């Protein structure tokens, strides 16, 4: 379990980091917490000759709570998301979901930026970010652009980010006061990726539903959200289930996954409705 050799870089500002990515092209990769990348490197499923560590870049850290939006630096760890009281007040679904990711050790180092940039359909944050209508700021040689989470994922491991761009920040609109929420995840054991997971928001601002690990990208369904907002729970469930496309793997055959998807989705909807004010 030893990865191939590489040269290590620890830039302290964004310009140097992007310079390294430009200089080395697809031979270079950034590393955040490394808890998706290093296992892939050990299996030799990811190969690179320059590893650009983002830990020294201070501007990639920090959580800013605004009145209407929240900004989270890409290098914020899952543990930092969980322990931030203001964030848990403003967007409680974020803590609820982060607590269901992996195990304590992984959450101390795994970052939100790495989780959303990775493009692995098993990651929990991308679906949640689509549910919350987050957007990602990416910075590259040509400057800064903002990409909606709902537009970011093309297929497994392929995203709208180009190789020379670094994801710097995630912006979330604050859910309206009184919004009910739930993140429900079925997994084989602690530390496992989802067999199926569902993120649901329901409140004065409308409703939103996204699902995880049930296709090669996260699945956000506009119709499901609209049905739920109109009070049609069964319509919401059937719209969301019509949008998934699970594949058979060690977590089970397709029929089983569809069944589990329905179970977690109904639970998430029930819990979100029961938590909504009024």
Ligand X SMILES: Cc1cc2nc3c(=O)[nH]c(=O)nc-3n(C[C@H](O)[C@H](O)[C@H](O)COP(=O)(O)OP(=O)(O)OC[C@H]3O[C@@H](n4cnc5c(N)ncnc54)[C@H](O)[C@@H]3O)c2cc1C
Which of 100-108, 146-154, 243-251, 269-277 is the region at the interface with ligand X (rule: CB under 6 A)? 100-108
Is residue 106 near other proteins by the rule CB under 8 A?
yes
Kindly identify the residues of this chain, within the stretch 159-198, that bind ligand X according to CB under 6 A.
166-167, 191, 193
Strands 50-53 and 7-9: parallel
Shortest Å, Cβ 183 to ligand X: 11
- How many residues in total does the chain contain? 278
Is residue 93 near ligand X by the rule CB under 6 A?
no
Kindly identify the residues of this chain, within the stretch 12-51, that bind other proteins according to CB under 8 A.
31, 34-35, 38-39, 41-42, 51
Shortest Å, Cβ 130 to ligand X: 14
Q: How many CB atoms lie within 10 A of CB 144?
A: 12
Kindly identify the residues of this chain, within the stretch 37-56, that bind ligand X according to CB under 6 A.
37, 39, 54
Backbone angles phi, psi at 77, to 5 degrees: -85, 160
The CA distance from 200 to 207, in Å, is: 7
Kindly identify the residues of this chain, within the stretch 217-246, that bind ligand X according to CB under 6 A.
none
The single residue among 65, 69, 106, 215 that binds ligand X, judged by CB under 6 A, is 106
Return the SS3 of 166. strand
- Based on the number of CB atoms within 10 Å of its own CB, is 73 exposed (0-12), middle (13-18) or buried (19 or more)? buried
Q: Select the binding partner of residue 272 from other proteins, ligand X, none (C-beta < 5 to 8 A, by kind).
A: none
Half-sphere exposure of 224 (CA within 13 A, CB side): 25
Kindly identify the residues of this chain, within the stretch 59-98, that bind other proteins according to CB under 8 A.
79
Which of residues 99 and 160 has its CB atom nearest to other proteins in the complex? 99
Q: Select the binding partner of residue 4 from ligand X, other proteins, none (C-beta < 5 to 8 A, by kind).
A: other proteins
Query: First-to-last CA distance in the chain?
Result: 54
b/e 98-129 (16+ beta carbons within 10 angstroms → b): beebbeeebbebbbbbbbbbbbebbbbbbbbb
Which of residues 183 and 202 has its CB atom nearest to ligand X in the complex? 183
Q: Which residue is nearest to ligand X (CB)?
A: 114
The single residue among 19, 108, 120, 150 that binds other proteins, judged by CB under 8 A, is 108
Shortest Å, Cβ 110 to ligand X: 2
The CA distance from 4 to 158, in Å, is: 23
Q: Select the binding partner of residue 51 from ligand X, other proteins, none (C-beta < 5 to 8 A, by kind).
A: other proteins
Q: Select the binding partner of residue 79 from other proteins, ligand X, none (C-beta < 5 to 8 A, by kind).
A: other proteins
Assess contact for 132 and 91: CB atoms under 8 A: yes
Which of residues 67 and 190 has its CB atom nearest to other proteins in the complex? 190
- Based on the number of CB atoms within 10 Å of its own CB, is 87 exposed (0-12), middle (13-18) or buried (19 or more)? buried
Assess contact for 118 and 33: CB atoms under 8 A: no
Q: Select the binding partner of residue 123 from other proteins, ligand X, none (C-beta < 5 to 8 A, by kind).
A: ligand X
Please give the helix or strand (H or E) that residue 165 lies within, else none: none
- Tell me which residues touch other proteins (CB under 8 A): 1-8, 10, 31, 34-35, 38-39, 41-42, 51, 53, 55, 79, 102-106, 108-109, 190-191
């Amino acid at each position: 379990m030893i990865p191939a050799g590489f040269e290590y870089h620890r830039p302290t500002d964004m310009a140097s980091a992007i310079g390294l990515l430009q200089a080395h092209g697809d031979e270079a990769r950034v590393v955040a917490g490394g808890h998706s990348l290093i296992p892939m490197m050990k299996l030799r499923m990811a190969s690179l000759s320059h590893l650009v560590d983002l830990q020294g870049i201070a501007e990639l850290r920090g959580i800013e709570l605004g009145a209407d939006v929240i900004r989270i630096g890409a290098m914020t760890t899952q543990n930092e998301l969980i322990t931030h009281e203001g964030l848990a007040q403003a967007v409680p679904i974020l803590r609820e979901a982060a607590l269901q990711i992996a195990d304590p050790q992984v959450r101390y180092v795994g970052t939100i930026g790495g989780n959303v940039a990775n493009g692995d359909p098993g990651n929990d944050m991308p679906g949640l970010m689509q549910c919350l209508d987050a957007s990602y700021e990416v910075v590259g040689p040509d400057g800064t652009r903002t990409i909606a989470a709902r537009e970011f994922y093309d297929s497994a491991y392929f995203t709208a980010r180009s190789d020379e761009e670094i994801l710097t920040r995630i912006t979330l609109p604050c859910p309206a006061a009184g919004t009910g929420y739930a993140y429900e995840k079925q997994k084989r054991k602690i530390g496992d990726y989802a067999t199926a997971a569902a993120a649901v928001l329901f409140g004065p601002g409308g409703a939103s539903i996204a699902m995880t690990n049930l296709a090669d990208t996260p699945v956000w369904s506009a119709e499901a959200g609209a049905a739920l907002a109109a009070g049609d729970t069964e319509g919401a469930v059937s719209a969301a289930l019509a949008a998934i496309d699970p594949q058979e793997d060690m977590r089970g055959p397709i029929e089983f996954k569809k069944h589990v998807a329905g179970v977690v989705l109904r639970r998430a909807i029930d819990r979100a409705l029961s938590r909504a004010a009024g």
